[in-house]
Structure 1
Amino acid sequence: MDIYVTELWMDHALRYDHMSPCKFNLSLNSEILDQIWKPNTVFINSKAAHIHKSPFKNVFLMIYPNGTVWVNYRVQVKGPCSMDFSAFPMDRQSCHLTLESFSYNNQEVDMQWTNWTDALSLLKKEIILPDFVLTNYSTSIERQVSRNKLKFDSKLETSGGYLPIKYCY
């Protein structure tokens, strides 16, 4: 699945508002990310994940005068899906992705879905995958003693009619 991951955090070491900047923000090359602090967010249950490189690394980095860092990644991720074919060919599948900070606990990084917009507002209204249609999705936070886990759950249904014909001929 191809997705965009957006992260926002505050890094006081990157503040430049005291310099009376003439620019409201700085758009920087993704190579700068290697030189600044990051929350080290990972998909802890993915089978594989990588940042697209077409033709360059698909990362957007912006820093605001108050030290807010905004990063967008275009990521291809393969997550686990509970494949239940008991109702084949009209089956439903559940897929789950879980994100957390790999290197930091809740005292250092408090993972949250945004509260200023629907966490998945950029999703198309209807997403059709080969043989499946995304019928529902939800987000949640699993709060634990040491870390918060961001969860994304999706429900997929077999595309009606197409699959039986495909396998009959």
Structure 2
Amino acid sequence: LLQLQEYSMTVFFRQQWRDHRLSFGPYADPVTLNYKQISDIWIPDSFFRNEKDAKLHKITVPNRLISVTRVGTVTYSQRLTLTLSCQLDLRSYPMDNQTCYIYIET
């Protein structure tokens, strides 16, 4: 008996990439940008393929952080609550063991 179910979780989704256009001084410390400046930086268009619902946390401000190192390494983090689908095999219920995956694509 296969059944499509869902599960929810709150995560900090972090991505990191290098953008040489953002490199700066050889002895400078990493720069943390304000959440209002995020729209000025290229960000990968990542999504959750098995997502049924998602919410970006915005209390008291959007829970997003972006920092840039001197060599142009960008770290982007955002807090999300996700509801994801998962196909369950209930043939051995209640002695079953389920594995649900998070499918992320760009």
TM range, normalised to the smaller chain?
Answer: 0.7 to 0.9
Which of 53, 59, 65 is the matching residue for 1:60? Answer: 65
Is 1:11–1:68's contact at 8 Å kept on the other side of the alignment?
A: yes
Q: What is the 5 A alignment of 1:112-151? A: none
Name the counterpart of 1:86: 91
Q: Which has the higher contact order (CA 8 A, sep 6+)?
A: 2
CA distances 1:110-148 after superposition (whole Å, capped 9, x unpaired): xxxxxxxxxxxxxxxxxxxxxxxxxxxxxxxxxxxxxxx
Which residue does the alignment assign to 1:44? 49
Contact 1:81/1:93 (<8 A) preserved: no
Partner of 1:5: 13
C-alpha RMSD over aligned residues: 1.8
- TM-score, normalization: structure 2? 0.79
Distance (Å, rounded) in 1 between the aligned partners of 2:15 and 2:78? 9
Counterpart amino acid of 1:73?
Answer: Q
2:41 corresponds to which letter in structure 1?
Answer: I
Percent same amino acid among aligned pairs?
30
1:31 Cα offset (Å): 2.0
- The 5 A counterparts of 1:23-38 are 24-38=29-43
Normalization by structure 1: what TM-score? 0.52
- What 5-or-longer segments of structure 2 have no aligned partner? 1-8
> C-alpha displacement at 1:95, in angstroms?
1.1
Deviation at 1:33, TM superposition (A): 1.5
Deviations 1:42-87 (A, max 9, x none): 1122112222222221112111111111111111111121123323
In structure 2, what is the Cα distance between the partners aligned to 1:96 and 1:10?
Answer: 27
Residue 156 of structure 1 aligns with which residue? Answer: none
Distance 1:56 1:87 in 2: 45
Amino acid at match of 1:35: D
1:73 counterpart residue number: 78
In the aligned structure 2, how far is the partner of 1:92 from the partner of 1:48? Answer: 25
* Amino acid paired to 1:9: W
CA distance in 1, matches of 2:54, 2:98: 21
